[in-house]
Structure 1
Amino acid sequence: MIGYLNLILRLVIWFLLTANLSLANIIIGISVALLLPGGPKSLGALKDWLRALGEVIVAIPQAFFEAFEIMLRPHNEEDITLERVKPGRTPGLIFLDIFLITFTPKTIVLKYHEDGWYEVHRVRRRRKA
C-alpha cells in the first residue's frame, strides 16, 4: 500500500510541475514515476500517510487565512527556529512535512538537517511591549 502512495506522490509532483494532463504526458509521468529509484525500503505506516494527507487538507484553509492576515495586518518580526522531525519518517513523509511547512505563507523551510531537524523561517506580528 505504501508503494502505491509513493507512486501517487510522484505522479502528483509530475503533474504539478508540467501542468499538462494530455495522454502523452500521463504516459511519460507514469514512466518517470516507475523508473525513479526507490531509496532505502523502510516501510512507513499507512496511519502516518493518512495523518499527513489529513494535515494537507487542514493546511489549505490555513494558508488562505494566513495570506489574508498578512495583507491586512503587517508582520514585521521574523525569526529562524529549529523544528524536530517526527520519528520514523520515510523520505516521502519528510517531503510532505516540508511541503506543509512551506505551503503556508508565514513559514518556509530553509534547510533539512540530516540529524532530524528542519530549519524554519517564520514571519510574525510585532509584539507590543
Structure 2
Amino acid sequence: MIGYLDLLLRLTIWFLLTADLSLANIVIGVSVALLLPRSYTSLAVLKDLLRILGEIIIAIPKAYFEAFEMMFRPHGREDIIMERAKPRRTPGLIFLDIFLITFTPKTIVLKYHEDGWYEVHRVRRRRGKREEARVKGGTG
C-alpha cells in the first residue's frame, strides 16, 4: 500500500510542476515516478511519523493558548535546557520533533546535538513574591 501512495504522491507533484494533463505528459510522469528510486520505510518509522503528526495537531491549540497566556501574563524567566531525543530517529522525524518544539511560542530549539539531545530555549513565568516565599519556606 505504501508503494501506491508513494507513486500517487510523485505523480501529483509531477502534474503540479508541469500543469499539463495530456496523454504524453501522463506517460512521462508515470515513467519518471516508476524510475525514481524508492525509499523503504519500516513500519516502526511509519508509526512514529503518525504519532508525531498527531502531536502536531494537538500542539496547534496549545500554541494559541501559550500565545494568549504570554500576552496577558508576561513571562520574564528564560532557561536553556537539554531535552533528550527519542531513539532511532530518522532525519525527517528529527525535523518534525524540532518543528513540534519550536511551534509553540514558549520554546525554540537552538541546536540538535548528534548524540541525541536538543538544546531548547524556553520562556517561563517569573514566580510571584508569595510563591517564592512559599517555595523557600517549604510550605508548598
Same fold, TM-score > 0.5, yes or no: yes
The one-character-per-residue Cα deviations of 1:3-61 (angstroms, maximum 9, x if unpaired) are 94xx79xx8xxxxxxxxxxx98x317xxxxx8xxx9x9774522111100100100000
- State the partner residue of 1:17: none
Consecutive unaligned residues in structure 1, runs of 5 or more: 12-22, 29-33
* Greater relative contact order structure (CA < 8 Å, 6+ sep): 1
- State the partner residue of 2:112: 112
- State the partner residue of 1:77: 77
Consecutive unaligned residues in structure 2, runs of 5 or more: 19-32, 133-140
Instruction: Indicate the structure (1 or 2) with the bigger Cα radius of gyration.
Output: 2
1:48 & 1:112 partners in 2: Cα distance? 19
2:114 corresponds to 1:124: no
The TM-score, its normalising length taken from structure 1, stands at 0.70
The TM-score, its normalising length taken from structure 2, stands at 0.64
Instruction: Give 1:27's match in structure 2, choosing from 10, 17, 20.
Output: 17
Q: How does 1:1-129 map onto structure 2 within 5 Å?
A: 1=2, 4=6, 26-27=16-17, 43=42, 44-128=44-128, 129=132
Runs of 4+ in 1 over 2 A off after TM superposition: 1-4, 40-45
Q: Percent identity?
A: 66
Determine if contact 1:42/1:90 at 8 Å carries over to the other structure. no
Amino acid at match of 2:60: I
CA drift at 1:105: 0.2
